[in-house]
Structure 1
């Protein structure tokens, strides 16, 4: 079993990963750097969205290449982690969320193109991803159990809201997202969810609340708090992921939803 792990702001290398190789994997959608190693005895394929030194800000992340590279490397499942802004005032900062729904109405990549792996007319496999829930239940369960075992405060379920970066959102924009039930927002998880679904790789997303989005709290979260919690998220994600990968039963893994294909 090979588990893909996608990390974001604050986590550029995966703590505890016994690295065997780091390779630039070339795909039809570009190249991605994939680090292969063992985490808690499980083979892991790690991709840092932003790369070392936060080389790529959110509007420059190569989502298609990242997911395509993990598929090329034989990932049986993908766990994504993201620091995020809380839209729910009852969500404590520094706590985790294992999302179970997605708000990503634009369905577009940072360059404005449609978020899909089906980019060539007539290509085999083209079609529609059809699903009830976007995140794989066995992976969600592994993340929840791992977070609890590590003693982290974690919420079971919540709607992830994808927003375009690199700027943060206005109070009016956050009010709109709150009105449809978005729990927390960040700037990278939407495309990953969709592309992993199209690639037929089970995927789950774990969030860590670093701040309250604009207008959610009476007083804005200090930037110093945001930075401190981004730094703290690395250890929380690492301990959760190291336990979660050991809890995944290969026999439970299956593509999320189904595909209506035109060939």
Structure 2
């Protein structure tokens, strides 16, 4: 049976609890080892693969994730659609804690990461990245959310920062001026690599906290972040099941 959907889990989402008959597959890729094994199982009648971006014990910070190996392993497994779950901070009104959002744009502030599969041999890859998230797949994701009764904000701009530290108030103020609604550390180069591989790719951003200087401007604690991620993720099994079925 083909894999109907691949899901990459971010901070606080290290497994897909609703998966049944799970098998673990380990891949070696031309780009090294991925963050961990693929957990492949059934969700309803669909076959779904799950990969924990940071490793199942969260051992890998954002700048140390082998994004190339992760995406390549999903394609090796036969995936063609990738749903990225990204834990983020909210910048603008409407993107506060416990919100789920499906951004349609991004700004890349990362540096020093392996951002292309091109390694200097053959023709360089110049993919069209005008719309970084696959429009048709975004629409499928939003339709699945509606069918599952899960509220998701349609649109917004994701700003990808280097990490692993959180941002300063001044950096977030700049990102707001740049048009960013959300801030996270793992959105790139993942989205660009998916485009190079021809994978349909969309982001479901889980807002864990207000970014520095935004909202109530309270100090950010890990406990609060994980509580907000858990609350916002309550409807994910139904949403993912709907998306896998489509």
TM-score normalised by length of structure 1: 0.85
1:59 is aligned to: 63
Take 1:180 and 1:76, find their aligned partners in 2: how far apart are those partners? 32
1:130 is aligned to: 128
Take 2:194 and 2:31, find their aligned partners in 1: how far apart are those partners? 14
Q: 1:14 to 1:95 in 2, by over 3 A?
A: same
Take 2:101 and 2:144, find their aligned partners in 1: how far apart are those partners? 12
CA contact (8 A) 2:10 2:86 kept: yes
Report the 3-state secondary structure (helix = DSSP H, G, I; strand = E; otherwise coil) of the residue aligned with 2:27.
Answer: strand
Take 1:165 and 1:237, find their aligned partners in 2: how far apart are those partners? 26
1:24 is aligned to: 26
1:184 is aligned to: 182
Take 1:47 and 1:134, find their aligned partners in 2: how far apart are those partners? 21
Task: Give the C-alpha shift of residue 44 in structure 1.
Answer: 1.5
1:43 is aligned to: 47
Report the 3-state secondary structure (helix = DSSP H, G, I; strand = E; otherwise coil) of the residue aligned with 2:126.
Answer: strand
1:214 is aligned to: 212
2:88 is aligned to: 84
Given the alignment, which residue of 143, 166, 171 partners 2:164?
166
Map 1:4-19 → 2, pairs under 5 A: 4-19=6-21
CA contact (8 A) 1:142 1:245 kept: no
Take 1:244 and 1:204, find their aligned partners in 2: how far apart are those partners? 12
Matched, 1:96 2:100: yes
Task: Give the C-alpha shift of residue 14 in structure 1.
Answer: 0.7
Task: Give the C-alpha shift of residue 218 in structure 1.
Answer: 4.0
CA contact (8 A) 1:102 1:134 kept: yes
Task: Give the C-alpha shift of residue 222 in structure 1.
Answer: 4.8
Take 2:32 and 2:114, find their aligned partners in 1: how far apart are those partners? 16
Structure ranking higher in strand proportion: 1
Deviations 1:204-237 (Å, cap 9, x if unpaired)? 0010111110011243255243231123244333
Take 2:113 and 2:9, find their aligned partners in 1: how far apart are those partners? 23
1:197 is aligned to: 195
Structure 2: tracts of 5 or more residues without a match: none
Take 2:176 and 2:101, find their aligned partners in 1: how far apart are those partners? 16
Which deviates more, 85-94 or 186-195? 85-94
Task: Give the C-alpha shift of residue 113 in structure 1.
Answer: 3.9
Map 1:243-262 → 2, pairs under 5 A: 243-247=242-246
User: RMSD of aligned C-alpha atoms?
Assistant: 1.8
The number of equivalent residue pairs is: 241
Given the alignment, which residue of 63, 70, 74 partners 2:74?
70
TM-score normalised by length of structure 2: 0.91
